[in-house]
């Protein structure tokens, strides 16, 4: 699958969803993710190669851990941080959705 990148036409600094921009943690808005034609892992590597995405340092996590926490899972997006895989990484999914909604990413 080829990733095509195009700069957005207008509103470069604006988020497509104002509820997310205001306060993503307290908003009751549930974001809908656009289906992608590959794994998040494969897409991450393509975006990293094109320098459209960077890794993010993992945030320190202390007990009690979320139910979904897997101490054996590692996330490349979070620089190998434990707790989840890239396929289960909400931060990566939101970042990719931002690129899609901003017009920076589309699939051919």
Read off the pLDDT band of 13 (50, 70, 90): very low
Residue 69 has pLDDT above 50, yes or no: yes
In angstroms, rounded to a whole number, what is the distance separating the alpha carbons of residues 89 and 91?
A: 6
**Domain edges within the chain:** 3-107
Q: Which of 4-8, 24-28, 89-93 has the highest mean pLDDT?
A: 89-93
Contact of 104 with 44, CB cutoff 8 Å? no
- What phi and psi, each to the nearest 5 degrees, are found at residue 83? 120, -30
Beta strand residue intervals within the chain, DSSP E:
3-4, 70-75, 81-83, 106-107
Residue 14 has a pLDDT of 46
Share of the chain above pLDDT 70, in %: 74
Average pLDDT, the chain: 84
Rounded to the nearest 5°, which phi and psi values hold at 34? -70, 130
């Amino acid at each position: 699958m080829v990733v095509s990148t195009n700069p957005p036409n207008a509103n470069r600094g604006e988020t497509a969803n104002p509820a997310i921009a205001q306060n993503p943690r307290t908003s009751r808005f549930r974001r809908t993710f656009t289906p992608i034609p590959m794994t998040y892992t494969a897409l991450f590597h393509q975006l990293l190669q094109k320098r459209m995405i960077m890794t993010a340092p993992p945030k320190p996590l202390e007990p009690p851990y979320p139910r979904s926490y897997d101490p054996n899972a590692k996330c490349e997006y979070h620089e190998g941080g434990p707790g989840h895989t890239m396929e289960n990484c909400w931060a990566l999914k939101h970042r990719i959705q931002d690129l899609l909604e901003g017009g920076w990413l589309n699939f051919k």
